[in-house]
Amino acid sequence: MSRICEITGKKLQRGNNVSHSHRKTKKAFMPNLHVKKFYLEEEERWVTLKVSASAVRTISKNGLKAAIEEAAKKGYLVNY
């Protein structure tokens, strides 16, 4: 299961955990992903997407069809 948002393309990032004494240990920053079902009115069917919390806000703002088309154009979403 890949940890990549299908709408925004957010994925796992690597960085350092820095302690008070400035010792650095590797850390993974995970995106806030959820598997959600959305109803696509134009095609009258349900679509299951793995989206981040910010992608849900993007879908609410721009609409599902516009968000899917933008993600497909950028290459984040292969098929839906």
| Domain range list for the chain | 13-74
16-66 pLDDT, tens per residue?
999 999 999 999 999 999 999 999 999 999 999 999 999 999 999 999 999
CATH of span 13-74: 2.30.170.40
Helix (H, G, I), strand (E, B) or coil at 59: helix
Tell me the pTM.
0.85
Helix (H, G, I), strand (E, B) or coil at 21: coil
Type and span of the H or E element at 64: helix 64-74
